[in-house]
Amino acid sequence: MIESQDSSIDRARGQVYEFFSALFLNQPTKETLARVLDENGVNAWEAMFPQHPACARLRELSQAYRRGEWQSDDFLIDYEALFRVPADSYVHPFESVYCQEGCSAGKVKGGRVLAEQALEVASIYRDQGLAPREGFTELPDHLGVELELMAVLCRKTAEALEKGDRREAAHWVAQQRSFLADHLLEWAPHCLKKVREKGVTPLYVCLADLLSTFLDEEGNLDCSLSEVASS
């Protein structure tokens, strides 16, 4: 089964993970907003998520942004409130806060950052030979960082498939399955639900909606990944 798998699927999945990672890990710049909200960007969203209601809302937002009804600073303020400033709109974008024992999903009070889950994912990064970029200070279990790891694992799977290396491809597929099941899918949907509830601009509400849909699909894919890894 692994030999007939098209590497382009893993390439495409990796690109989606990488794009979402950048959007949730970094402040929105005018250049990023142009990629997301210009005509080509909206068309790309619609191609990735056909007939998804969030795409229609993004198209409306794109038009409103170009008319000057929304400013780039509006999205920057929303990003800071959601992901950086621990006040009423803050969503705690860290696995540790959602997955500690006694801290049920979606109820983050009492959860603390840099707990066992953060140490676990940091160990996974080291095992994969990954290290923080110079000047990078974000915690290892940040949503954007975990999405970036999935992008790396998808890319490595594609490279192994392109080499025709069945054993290596199965290894990277197993790594994907494990990280999805044990980490990302355990907590990210709850975090994204909070983004949808607390986002002030349509931008992050729509992005959270689309990423939630993507991760739902990845949850279904996880079953097939498990089969591939054991083949």
Q: Which domains does the chain have, with CATH numbers?
A: 2-230 (1.10.3480.10)
Among 1, 46, 2, 36, smallest CA distance to 161 is for 2
Q: What pLDDT is stored for residue 99 in this prediction?
A: 82
Q: What pLDDT is stored for residue 115 in this prediction?
A: 58
Give me the torsion for CA of 134, 140, 146, 150, rounded to 10°. 60
Residue 229 to residue 221: CA distance in whole angstroms:
12
Q: Cα–chain-centroid distance for residue 159?
A: 21
Phi/psi for 217 (5° steps) reads -65, -40
Residue 81 to residue 28: CA distance in whole angstroms:
13
Under 8 Å between Cβ of 15 and 150? no
Q: What pLDDT is stored for residue 102 in this prediction?
A: 44
Q: What pLDDT is stored for residue 135 in this prediction?
A: 67
Q: What pLDDT is stored for residue 112 in this prediction?
A: 59
Under 8 Å between Cβ of 149 and 178? no
Q: What pLDDT is stored for residue 66 in this prediction?
A: 95
Half-sphere exposure of 25 (CA within 13 A, CB side): 20
Residue 96 to residue 112: CA distance in whole angstroms:
6
Among 196, 199, 194, smallest CA distance to 209 is for 196
Which regions in the chain score pLDDT beneath 70?
A: 1-5, 100-115, 134-135, 221-231
Write the burial class of residue 18 (CB in 10 Å: 0-12 exposed, 13-18 middle, 19+ buried): middle
Question: In 10 A of CB 34, how many CB atoms?
Answer: 13
For residue 35, what are the contacts with CB-CB under 8 A and spacing of at least 6?
Answer: 41
Q: How far is CA 20 from CA 16, 114, 177, 209, in A?
A: 6, 22, 19, 12
